[in-house]
Structure formats: structure tokens, C-alpha cells
Amino acid sequence: MSPKRLLAGRPEMQIGATVFAGFVVFLGIIIAWLEVTPIEGQKGICRMAEAASGKEDEFRSTNQTAFVVGHTGETGRALVEELVNRNIFQKLLLIGRRELNYEGEKYSKLEQKVVDYEKLADDHADLFKGHNVGFCCLGTTRGKSGAEGFKRVDHDYVMMTAKLAKEGGCGHFLLQSSQGANKDSSFLYTKVKGQVDAECAELGFEKLSIFRPGVLMVDRKESRPGEWFARKMLTPLKYFAPTVMTCPVETVAKAMVNAVLSPSDKPAEIYENKAVHLLAKGKSC
């Protein structure tokens, strides 16, 4: 029997289908509205994005160095690639619990150090000394590490990194947080992210840039079924409303580099998902 004939005989199914269709249309309207509605400070972010474009040579001439923590992850790898391609630092120190293999002349300014995060302050504080800029893309999941393990990495390790960076003289700290971060949230993930954002702000960096991307769009090497499912469900949004809930890791990386080249006037700036997209656009913002 065709679905039409099946529905024809069942009024309650017809009503259900109509309600569902109405809900989908309503959701579509909300998402479209979110996509086209400008965010607060949009013009300023676009000015920053435009100013960043073509500023690489000028910045390179200032001979700055940076460190990246979490460089082996999906965003971290995209960030290293972006930094290497734009070649803005005199030296780039990659700090992590393992090394990656980089071959080729363009990676010649990279140096890698393997650390034990449990002994970060005691044994590795020197690594954080004297950098102008620090990037942090560290993080795990509750599924992978349990609730305590998640807090240890996403809060404790990140805060240890931020404190060492501040003590080491880092002038601009760039932190990858998450959409929905809120220290008062009742969800562990968003609560921890919000707490870290707030605690980093209290450290008093000369410049602090916090990035809150939505669901990261990337062909993740590691198997994370929940995240995979969310990505599949959100794939249409990537095309029709790209700045609402999703963010490719390359976009986060571009936004971070543009925030270094053309920082905000404010000492601490939070870039929500749409702002991350705008900042990443450069001249075409």
C-alpha cells in the first residue's frame, strides 16, 4: 500500500504528519533567522578580519614565538597547518603528550616537546617561558575519560597551561572553548568550559581570545559514535546555515590566526560560533 493511501485511512496519522511537517518548517525558519541575523559587534569583527588579511609580513618582522598545546588533536593539527602556511612566527613550540611526524622545509620552524601533564608545573614550566602567543586546543570527552578524567583534562590541564603561560610572560593566550560554555550550566561539559573561560579571564592576560565553536566538522580519526551521529544530522546545516551550529576545524584555525594578526581592542574577547566564522573569512568578511 502506498504511504498516501496508508495515511488516507488514518486521520491521526495525517494529523501527526501535518504537525511534524509544521515543526520542521518552524525549525527551518528559526535556523534561517539565526543564520541571517547579524550578531552584536559584527562590524567590528569584520574590520578585524579584513585588517588581518595581508598582515603576515608585518607580523613576521616582529620576530615573535608561540606555543601550541593540544597540537595533536583535530583542531590542533589544522591550527599548526594554518600557522605553518602563513608563516607568522619565528619559532613554534608544539607541546603535547606525543609527537607527530612533520616532514618538509615549511615545518622547519616547528619544535616538539613531549610532556607529562601531571608534572606540567613541576617539570615543564620552562617550556612556557618567553612566548608572545600561546594557543590551547586541549580537551577530551566524558565518554573517553569519564567525568573526573574530563575535568582533569578540560579544566585542570587547561588551567595549568594558562597559568604557566601567564607566568612565562605570554601576552596573548588563545583558548578553544565550546558553543554553550556557561559556568552556571547544569551540564558537565558546558559548565566546565564556562568555568575555564571565566578562570582564564581572571588571570589577567594582556590579551585573551576565547573561541566557542559549534560542533566541529571534521573527519575525525578517532571513533566517537555520538559525535559522528551529531555531525551526520547537522551536515545539511553546514550548507544552508553554516554559522549556526557547526564549525569546520580549519575555520577555527583561521580565526585564531586572524585574531593574532589583528587582535580585538578589548583585553578579553569571546568569539561565539558565528564570530569564529566571520573572523576566519579575512578580506571577504
Ligand X SMILES: NC(=O)c1ccc[n+]([C@@H]2O[C@H](COP(=O)([O-])OP(=O)(O)OC[C@H]3O[C@@H](n4cnc5c(N)ncnc54)[C@H](OP(=O)(O)O)[C@@H]3O)[C@@H](O)[C@H]2O)c1
State which of residues 170, 216, 261, 275 lies at the interface with ligand X (CB under 6 A). 216
Q: Verify binding: residue 173, ligand X, rule CB under 6 A.
A: no
Task: Return the half-sphere exposure (C-beta side, CA atoms, 13 A cut-off) of residue 212.
Answer: 18
Task: Return the half-sphere exposure (C-beta side, CA atoms, 13 A cut-off) of residue 9.
Answer: 5
Cα–Cα distance measured from residue 128 to residue 125, given in angstroms and rounded to the nearest whole number: 6
State which of residues 64, 65, 90, 140 lies at the interface with ligand X (CB under 6 A). 140
Q: Verify binding: residue 75, ligand X, rule CB under 6 A.
A: yes
Cα–Cα distance measured from residue 209 to residue 252, given in angstroms and rounded to the nearest whole number: 12
Contact 73, 50 (CB under 8 A): no
Cα–Cα distance measured from residue 269 to residue 186, given in angstroms and rounded to the nearest whole number: 24
* Distance in Å, CB of 231 to ligand X, minimum: 8
Cα–Cα distance measured from residue 259 to residue 255, given in angstroms and rounded to the nearest whole number: 6
Q: Verify binding: residue 119, ligand X, rule CB under 6 A.
A: no
Q: Verify binding: residue 74, ligand X, rule CB under 6 A.
A: yes
Helix (H) or strand (E) holding 121: helix 120-123
Q: Verify binding: residue 110, ligand X, rule CB under 6 A.
A: no
State which of residues 66, 76, 253, 254 lies at the interface with ligand X (CB under 6 A). 76
Cα R_g (the chain), whole angstroms: 21
Number of residues that bind ligand X (CB under 6 A): 23
State which of residues 138, 253, 256, 285 lies at the interface with ligand X (CB under 6 A). 138
Which of the stretches 43-51, 122-130, 134-142, 264-272 binds ligand X when contact is defined by CB under 6 A? 134-142
State which of residues 10, 43, 47, 97 lies at the interface with ligand X (CB under 6 A). 97
Cα–Cα distance measured from residue 227 to residue 231, given in angstroms and rounded to the nearest whole number: 6
Active site residues: 189, 193
Residue 137 DSSP SS3: coil
State which of residues 161, 176, 209, 258 lies at the interface with ligand X (CB under 6 A). 176
* Distance in Å, CB of 129 to ligand X, minimum: 20
Helices then strands (H, E): number in the chain? 12, 9
User: What is the contact surface with ligand X in residues (CB under 6 A)?
Assistant: 70, 72-76, 96-98, 117, 137-140, 153-154, 176, 178, 213, 215-216, 227, 249
